[in-house]
Structure 1
Amino acid sequence: MRSTSLASRGALTLSLAAVFGSACSAGSRVTSPQAGASTPPVASRPASAIYPEAGWRRADPGDAGFDPVRLEKIALDAGKKGTNCLIVIRHGRLVAEWYWNGTDVTTSQDVFSATKSYAGALVGIAEAEGRLSVDDKMSEYVPEWAGTRSEDVTIKNILSNDSGRHWDVATDYRGLLRATDRTGFSVGLGQDAAPGDVWAYNNSAVQTLDAVLTNATGQSPAAYAQDRLFGPLGMSRSRMTLDAAGNTTMFSGLHSTCEDMARFGYLFLRKGNWRGKQIVPRRWIEAATGRPSQELNAAYGYLWWLNARGPVIDPLRPGTLRPGSTAQDRRLVDDAPHDMYWAIGFGGQIIQVDRGSDTVVVRLGRNVPGVRYGPAYTAEIVTTALVRP
């Protein structure tokens, strides 16, 4: 295979390279159990999974195995880096949450490219319902590709970002964002390389999943997400957005809160099961997050960022609009567990899931030039602040 590195996106779009910017902020508010409140020690994994009701059950940081001083230090540092909210879940309980910049538990915001991980989950749900297979050719659902160089692109190629579909900065940065019909724009692009030959962080390619899910399910992905995902999980403050033509935006655009995003992360931590109902297939969770989905980028599964060791391709070179370079033998976050994984969006929107510590961390914020905020910071909550297994 030819491992040429293409990548997508710059400052305004949804690249991992731009995720890290931030600056100082003030006006923090911390929500955690009241001092002296009777909360059971939860450092040990519960015998059965605990799920949130209308809200999350709570636990003291110390009882949950964290060093409260270290945890608070990490949070205060996050507050100085443009963070709007930071939330920590362990063993199904909310350990602590912080809010800055006038936000609170009800505040939703655009999570940018973290939307992609939700889009992938919808494909997994549709596959479980027998509506499609990841091995299907895209041309079965996008008839415009039949008889073209894109005919053999599979759904798995789109999920893995190795489709070979056209990418350049002007297309993925300006053209896609300005298009009134983003799905039509994306479907109409050409094919740069054979499927599987090139890894590229390609927003336009991901947008074509709108056509796939609409044709496979008979619903818009936005409605399908509400019925199959947001409703069952109690994500009452989450919604996917539409373009001017009424298409669901798949590569970006989800609006959500820290606590709602924690529910989505917790669904993946529980291998797709929610209160005894399999919302997303367990095998899909493993395929999406348990190992790289292709050989070109060890840091990528099905629209999730992984921490496997191997060649790692960033979407863009930091601070530039140039294609990302490939490091042949590293991890996305070297000091973090190998099985930790992330949904990541522009401005440092992050869902972090770590099976080993049974934790979910969510950070939402804004991108301010001069300070980078990315998964290395959220990983410290597990690698530095967690002191008891």
Structure 2
Amino acid sequence: MKNIFLLSLLVVSLFSCSSDSSSTPEEQMYFPPNDGSATWETKTIADLGWNQNAVQPLLNYLNETNTKSFIVLVNGRIVMENYFNGHNASSPWYWASAGKTLTTAVTGIAQDEGLLNINNKVSDYLGTGWTSAPLAKENLITVKNLLSMNSGLNDALGDNVSPANLQYVADAGTRWAYHNVYVKLQDIVATTSGQTWPNYFNTKLRDKIGMTGGAWLNSGEDLSVYWSNSRSMARFGLLSLNRGKWNGTTIVNENYFNQATTTSQTLNQAYGYMWWINGTSSFRLPQTQFQFSGEIIPNAPADMYAALGKNDQKIYVVPSKKLVIIRMGEVANPSNPTFGLSGFDNELWSKINDLFE
């Protein structure tokens, strides 16, 4: 009887310890309000237990590498927000190819609304003759091929996406090549929704997560580039960290978003639906058919996925650290300009890693 009593006390004691109100609950994800105010919760380097001594070397490096803005979010809260070289919180800047992921997101929204199916061929929505490829070859190209950059169209003819400039090289799905033909996704959304691309984008994505003041501006050759302030880019990064959900509301279907941020085809392991994926064993780069071994950014966490744009526009998303990092600016190394993935990424992550030590 005494043993039973002691066992009962032990069970009660264990239960009391496990439910102790003094234990620290996991911090909830924060989403800034959509009311256009400047309100955004913050955390400090000290709050996180990070290395304060690494902050100034990081800021010096960012300033020296032509950065205009740099934002770090953890659990949605701003930990660092810095502006350089005449830029400020309200200054717009271009996303370049980092904005391709906006098109990815809106394509997913349109699919969820039943306007399109990414497994259907592009000509189902745009009609035949949208390329100069033979009809049988054109009809091989699906919406997913545009998302995955394996349309088989010639990537060496510049940004122009008129039919005459969209020429057959290989069957869709058999060749990976970075190509601005992705903008045809915007045409598909506009055609199927009966709206202009900017209007559909604004109502279905931009306004729902409070990306105020941004706009699609034509850069020539039918290529539209997104411009916004840095916090708007950070909002999209936060949506992406939460796999398409914003403060409990689904904006982009989570299953679709998971597909977008994992390898989308067999040719380039580091590429999803216009998101770059770290942690793979090999990768390919634009303007080349070579395959490289290793990760695209070895110094970055293996679970990171990233939106990367020309002249080093960056959205880094790291789920394991509940981390979003934004970098806007001029090209970091003018002697080695790139489409978006460069040695700068690895050097920058070396500096960022010092924060965590």
| Residue of 304, 311, 334 corresponding to 1:369 | 334
Q: Distance in 1 between matches of 2:258 and 2:81?
A: 28
**Offset of residue 191 of structure 1:** 1.7
Task: State the Cα deviation string for residues 225-265 of structure 1 (Å, max 9, x = none).
Answer: 110111011111211224679x6x45xx1001211101001
Within a 5 Å distance, the mapping from 1:217-232 to structure 2 comes to: 217-232=193-208
Q: Distance in 2 between matches of 1:187 and 1:234?
A: 39
Q: Distance in 1 between matches of 2:347 and 2:317?
A: 14
Q: Which amino acid aligns with 1:256?
A: S
Within a 5 Å distance, the mapping from 1:18-167 to structure 2 comes to: 45-46=26-27, 48-53=28-33, 54=37, 55-145=39-129, 147-167=135-155
Q: Which amino acid aligns with 1:270?
A: N
Equivalence for 1:310: 281
**Offset of residue 44 of structure 1:** 7.7
Matched, 1:236 2:212: yes
Q: Distance in 1 between matches of 2:267 and 2:277?
A: 13
Q: Distance in 1 between matches of 2:234 and 2:203?
A: 19
Q: Distance in 1 between matches of 2:25 and 2:299?
A: 24
8 Å CA contact retained: 2:119, 2:142: yes
Matched, 1:260 2:232: yes
Q: Distance in 2 between matches of 1:283 and 1:382?
A: 30
8 Å CA contact retained: 1:186, 1:207: no
**Offset of residue 375 of structure 1:** 2.7
Instruction: Report the CA distance shift for 1:57/1:214 in structure 2 as closer, same or farther (over 3 A).
Output: same
**Offset of residue 45 of structure 1:** 4.5
Instruction: Report the CA distance shift for 1:314/1:303 in structure 2 as closer, same or farther (over 3 A).
Output: same
Unaligned ranges ≥5, structure 1: 1-42, 177-181, 317-322
Matched, 1:337 2:325: no
Unaligned ranges ≥5, structure 2: 1-23, 337-341
8 Å CA contact retained: 1:237, 1:257: yes
How many positions carry a matched residue from both structures? Answer: 320
- Root-mean-square deviation (CA, aligned residues, Å) is 2.2
Q: Which amino acid aligns with 1:232?
A: K
8 Å CA contact retained: 1:85, 1:363: yes
Q: Distance in 1 between matches of 2:275 and 2:102?
A: 9
Give the TM-score normalised by the residue count of structure 1. Answer: 0.77
Task: State the Cα deviation string for residues 35-60 of structure 1 (Å, max 9, x = none).
Answer: xxxxxxxx9841x3210123321111
Q: Secondary structure at the match of 2:274?
A: coil
Matched, 1:201 2:172: no
Q: Which amino acid aligns with 1:369?
A: P
Q: Distance in 1 between matches of 2:201 and 2:42?
A: 28
Q: Distance in 1 between matches of 2:233 and 2:31?
A: 14
Within a 5 Å distance, the mapping from 1:311-330 to structure 2 comes to: 311-316=282-287, 323=288, 325-327=290-292, 329-330=293-294
Q: Distance in 2 between matches of 1:161 and 1:68?
A: 41
Q: Secondary structure at the match of 1:87?
A: strand
8 Å CA contact retained: 1:272, 1:279: yes
Task: State the Cα deviation string for residues 89-108 of structure 1 (Å, max 9, x = none).
Answer: 00111001111111100011
Instruction: Report the CA distance shift for 1:272/1:360 in structure 2 as closer, same or farther (over 3 A).
Output: same
Task: State the Cα deviation string for residues 203-241 of structure 1 (Å, max 9, x = none).
Answer: 1x1121122111121112211111011101111121122
8 Å CA contact retained: 1:45, 1:91: no
Q: Distance in 1 between matches of 2:40 and 2:174?
A: 44
Give the TM-score normalised by the residue count of structure 2. Answer: 0.84
